[in-house]
Chains A and B, each alone.
Chain A
């Protein structure tokens, strides 16, 4: 038995268009999902019980259902309500809603990780709740937000493969097409796997750089300075 990757080269255009479709759908639905997650997280953090209840129900509903079922509900539900949209759009919308529940939990966790005294200090100098959240709490959540958001985004990139079931021509779908035409499933799915790995690892590396940049802008740089200061102070004390 030998692997014959010439079938891949013969069909490279299908894989390329699949890669492009996956990138576009993943990027847009992750961005939309994150934006959608912000109001959900704000509701989940509200001191009004009914807002918390709504946010909690929303998150629970999506998180306890496999994505493929969520996708089918959107795929059959939207036309049922008279809304006919192209498959990639339906798939993107479903994924955005699904992702928003995970992102909202990430955001909620990051906000809760900022010490309570920060918002109190903001309010004590006369700032409103909203202003305090925006100027004081939100900037501090940024560094806390990045690592778990990267994880969630990578999961969502992988979930785009499920869109193949509603004929969205992304990587997995194109793989199935090529496999049907060439009867070379092993080569095809090794290639498919490599393409996903390419996207997710490139994304992870990019985010890691962003994390480091954000860290350097705030924490680690300060830590280095303060360490240097302490050594200087020690030296001065000794020389006295």
Chain B
């Protein structure tokens, strides 16, 4: 349940002093970050820099060991109930789509609204069909994931997440597993979502997209946030040597 005391001006996500280890290996080191309502934050960095781990901590698919994470007024890490409450309000899109292969697209979309929100089948289906049309999959609504292309599957996964009417959407490398010709359609869908004012955190290597859509770009390396800035400043005048090196590698 969203905390009614959370004022609209307060950040919807606030991460403070988070540390996380896998055994002896530290994946996140003293990470602090806050995201305002409606803000679009792109996280980039070399592989293994902890960016996916960070956004997976935001809905507790991974647990942090130190520090605090508050999402929509709910402090995470205390209990499974808190994690579930946050997940009801925070949608996630995965690199490998993770659609449910035994269900068609409509069934993929209505499963959570019906079982978690207790929505009626009729209402959930109306919502699902509307959202599938919005991601331009209306005619495929009763197909199974295996009958669709990668780009279509990822758009369906976005519709599935939107069916829970989330306040925040997390994207974990949503275009990394796609054939190049399908990247555009997924990014277009995300642009549409951004234009409607959705709060978004996006881990991606699509720097052109970051430049257009992001309010802020965060660069991570070796589990730390090295630098964060609005895209113009981030791409135009990166401060840190590591950021410059990363950008020169990824932009060429």
Distance of B17 from chain A, by nearest CB (Å): 25
Distance of A229 from chain B, by nearest CB (Å): 6
Q: How many angstroms between the C-alpha atoms of A108 and B222 in the bound complex?
A: 36
The answer to whether B100 touches A127 (Cβ under 8 A) is no
The answer to whether A226 touches B91 (Cβ under 8 A) is no
The answer to whether B160 touches A126 (Cβ under 8 A) is no
Q: Which of A188-240 contact B (CB under 8 A)?
A: 218-219, 222-223, 225-226, 229
Distance of A87 from chain B, by nearest CB (Å): 43
Q: Which residues of A contact B144 (CB under 8 A)?
A: 222, 225
| B164 contacts chain A at the CB level, 8 A cutoff | yes
Q: How many angstroms between the C-alpha atoms of A123 and B111 in the bound complex?
A: 12
Chain B, residues 33-74, CB within 8 Å of chain A (1/0): the string is 000000000000000000000000001010000000000000
Give which listed residue, A128, A139, A218, A226, contacts B84 with CB less than 8 A.
A128
The answer to whether A124 touches B59 (Cβ under 8 A) is yes
Chain B, residues 154-191, CB within 8 Å of chain A (1/0): the string is 00010011011000000000000000000000000000
The answer to whether B116 touches A120 (Cβ under 8 A) is no
Give which listed residue, A115, A122, A124, A225, contacts B91 with CB less than 8 A.
A124
| B26 contacts chain A at the CB level, 8 A cutoff | no
The answer to whether A125 touches B61 (Cβ under 8 A) is no
Q: Which residues of A contact B92 (CB under 8 A)?
A: 121, 124
| A117 contacts chain B at the CB level, 8 A cutoff | yes
Known contacts A124-B61, A126-B164; is-contact A222 B146 (Cβ 8 Å) = yes
Give which listed residue, A117, A218, A222, contacts B98 with CB less than 8 A.
A117
Distance of A50 from chain B, by nearest CB (Å): 19
Distance of A63 from chain B, by nearest CB (Å): 31
| B102 contacts chain A at the CB level, 8 A cutoff | yes
Distance of B146 from chain A, by nearest CB (Å): 5
The answer to whether B147 touches A226 (Cβ under 8 A) is yes
Known contacts A124-B61, A125-B160, A126-B164; is-contact A135 B111 (Cβ 8 Å) = yes
Distance of B140 from chain A, by nearest CB (Å): 10
The answer to whether B98 touches A121 (Cβ under 8 A) is yes
| A140 contacts chain B at the CB level, 8 A cutoff | yes
Q: How many angstroms between the C-alpha atoms of A198 and B164 in the bound complex?
A: 54
Nearest B-chain residue to A218, judged by Cβ: B102
The answer to whether A223 touches B146 (Cβ under 8 A) is yes
Q: Which residues of B contact A219 (CB under 8 A)?
A: 146
Chain B, residues 98-128, CB within 8 Å of chain A (1/0): the string is 1111100000000110011100000000000
The answer to whether B87 touches A120 (Cβ under 8 A) is no
| A131 contacts chain B at the CB level, 8 A cutoff | yes
Q: How large is the interface on B (under 10, 10 to 19, 20 to 34, 35 or more residues)?
A: 20 to 34
| B209 contacts chain A at the CB level, 8 A cutoff | no
Chain A at the B interface: mostly helix, strand, loop or mixed? helix
Q: How large is the interface on A (under 10, 10 to 19, 20 to 34, 35 or more residues)?
A: 20 to 34
Known contacts A126-B87, A128-B84, A222-B147; is-contact A120 B115 (Cβ 8 Å) = no
Q: How many angstroms between the C-alpha atoms of A117 and B111 in the bound complex?
A: 16
Distance of B145 from chain A, by nearest CB (Å): 9
Q: Which of A160-199 contact B (CB under 8 A)?
A: none
The answer to whether A117 touches B94 (Cβ under 8 A) is yes
Q: How many angstroms between the C-alpha atoms of A65 and B162 in the bound complex?
A: 54
Give which listed residue, A120, A135, A225, contacts B94 with CB less than 8 A.
A120
The answer to whether B115 touches A127 (Cβ under 8 A) is yes
Of A121, A123, A219, A229, chain B has the most CB atoms within 10 Å of the CB of A121
| B242 contacts chain A at the CB level, 8 A cutoff | no
Distance of A226 from chain B, by nearest CB (Å): 4
Q: Which of A61-100 contact B (CB under 8 A)?
A: none
| A17 contacts chain B at the CB level, 8 A cutoff | no
Q: List 13 A-B contacts (CB under 8 A).
A: A115-B96, A122-B112, A124-B92, A124-B94, A124-B161, A126-B84, A127-B116, A131-B116, A136-B111, A139-B102, A225-B143, A226-B147, A226-B148
Chain B residues close to A by CB (< 8 Å): 59, 61, 84, 87-88, 91-92, 94, 96, 98-102, 111-112, 115-117, 143-144, 146-148, 157, 160-161, 163-164
Contacts beyond the supplied A118-B100, A135-B111: 20 A-B pairs with Cβ under 8 Å: A117-B94, A117-B96, A120-B98, A121-B92, A121-B98, A123-B61, A124-B94, A125-B116, A125-B164, A126-B84, A126-B88, A126-B112, A126-B116, A126-B164, A131-B116, A135-B115, A136-B100, A140-B100, A218-B102, A222-B144
Q: List 6 tightest A-B contacts by C-beta distance, closest first.
A: A125-B112, A121-B98, A126-B88, A117-B98, A124-B92, A226-B147
